[in-house]
Amino acid sequence: MSYISKSVSTLEETRTGLCDEFVSVTGSDGAVAQCYLAENDWEMERALNSFFEADMEAVFTVVDSPKKDTSPPKVKRQKLDKPQGKIDWYTPDVVFLQELIEPYVQYLKKRAVSYTIIEGGEEGYFTGLMLKKSRVKLLNSDIISYPTTQMMRNLLVAQVTFRDQELCVMTSHFESCKGQAEERMKQLSVVLKRMREAPTNVTVLFGGDTNLRDAEVTMVGGLPGGVCDVWEQLGKQDHCRYTWDTKANSNKSLPYVSRCRFDRVYLRPAKEGPGSRMTPDHMALVGLEKLDCGRYTSDHWGIYCSFIL
C-alpha cells in the first residue's frame, strides 16, 4: 500500500512540474496547462504544439480570394479595441519578434509560407525576423552577441533590399527587470552604434522589446543625430504609449499597476538616395482583444508601424 501511495505522489509531482514548465513557456495559467497536457498524454512538445496552433488559429484567419491570384493571401487580423486612424491590415513587409520558442517557429514556417523567417537563436526563447518574400529580399543576416548578458540576449541583424533600396533591419530583446539597467544600457549602446555607423546609403530600422526606461536612454547620451524614436517622431500619442500595461493587460497577475514603454522602434534614414526620404507615417498598438481562451496574445501589446518611402 505504501508503494502505491509513493507512486501516486511521484506522478503528481511530475505532472505538477510539467504544468509549471508549460505555464512558464506559454504565459498561460495552471488550468490551461493541465488541460493541454492531459489531452496530449502529458507529452510537453505535443502539448505546446497544440497550444500554439490553437493560439495562432485564433489570431489569423486566411481569407481565400474569389479570383485566381498568385499573390500571397490576405490575412484578416483582430481589430483594435479603439482604432486610431486608418490601418492597412495587409500582411506587413517586416515583422520583428521576441520570445520565440522552437515549436512556435515551426508552426510559423508551416503557416506563414509567404515569409522568409530568420531565427536569432535555438535554445530557450529568442528573437526572430519575418520578411515578406514578394517585397523584401534577404541579402544576409547576422547574430551579434552581447558580451556581458546574463539572459542569453543578442542582436539579430538582416541586410535586405526593399523597392531597390538597401535596408538594415534589426531586433533585440534587452535584459529584463529594473535591476539590469546597466546591462540594458550597454545593449542599447551596441544597437545605436550599429545604427550610427551604417553606410550612408542604407536605411536602418530597429524594433524590439527594449525594457528601457526613458532615464536610461538619457544616461547613454540620448539617440545619436539622424536616429529617431518613431513614437516620439509621431507626436508621443497616448493611444500607443504603453506597450507593457498591467492595468489593461491581465496576462500577468501582479499586485501593482505597471505602465511602461518597453517596446520601441528606432529609425535612421539613409543619408543619401531615395531612402533619405523615409519617414514614419503611423503607429498603433495591436493584440488588444482577448482570444477565445480568455487571454491576450501576449503580456505586451504589439506595435504596428507604417512608413512613407
CATH code, domain carrying 27 = 1.10.8
In a domain, 58, yes or no: no
* Domain identity same for 157 and 38: no
The reported pLDDT for the residue numbered 249 is 94
| CB neighbour list of residue 115: distance below 8 Å, 6 or more residues apart | 91, 95, 108, 130, 131, 132, 133
In a domain, 226, yes or no: yes
* Domain identity same for 207 and 302: yes
* Domain identity same for 100 and 19: no
The reported pLDDT for the residue numbered 86 is 42
In a domain, 69, yes or no: no
In a domain, 7, yes or no: yes
Q: Which tens digit of pLDDT belongs to each residue from 124-175?
A: 899 999 999 999 999 999 999 999 999 999 999 999 999 889 999 999 999 9
* Domain identity same for 136 and 203: yes
**CA-CA distance, 199 to 202, in Å (whole number)?**
5
Q: Which tens digit of pLDDT belongs to each residue from 86-115?
A: 444 457 999 999 999 999 999 999 889 999
* Domain identity same for 201 and 134: yes
- Look up the CATH number of the domain holding residue 231: 3.60.10.10
* Domain identity same for 207 and 95: yes
Q: Which tens digit of pLDDT belongs to each residue from 207-222?
A: 999 999 999 999 999 9
**pTM (2 decimals)?**
0.74
Residue 73 or residue 275, greater confidence = 275
Of 209, 229, 245, 263, catalytic: 209
CB contact at 8 A, 141 and 127: no
* Domain identity same for 170 and 30: no
**CA-CA distance, 134 to 203, in Å (whole number)?**
20
The reported pLDDT for the residue numbered 136 is 97
Domain count, the chain: 2
In a domain, 295, yes or no: yes
Q: Which tens digit of pLDDT belongs to each residue from 29-61?
A: 887 888 888 888 888 878 887 777 665 555 444
DSSP class of residue 226 equals T
Domain of 23? 2-51
* Domain identity same for 236 and 169: yes
* Domain identity same for 298 and 189: yes
* Domain identity same for 81 and 119: yes
* Domain identity same for 244 and 293: yes
* Domain identity same for 17 and 125: no
In a domain, 85, yes or no: yes
The reported pLDDT for the residue numbered 14 is 85
In a domain, 9, yes or no: yes
Q: What does 40-89 look like in DSSP terms, one character per residue?
A: TTT-HHHHHHHHHHHHHHHH-EEE--SS---SPPEEE-PPPSS--S----
Show the cell assigned to 256: 501593482
Burial class for 3, CB neighbours closer than 10 Å (0-12, 13-18, 19+): exposed
Residue 6 predicted with pLDDT over 70:
no
CB contact at 8 A, 36 and 45: no
| 209 assigned to active site | yes
In a domain, 65, yes or no: no
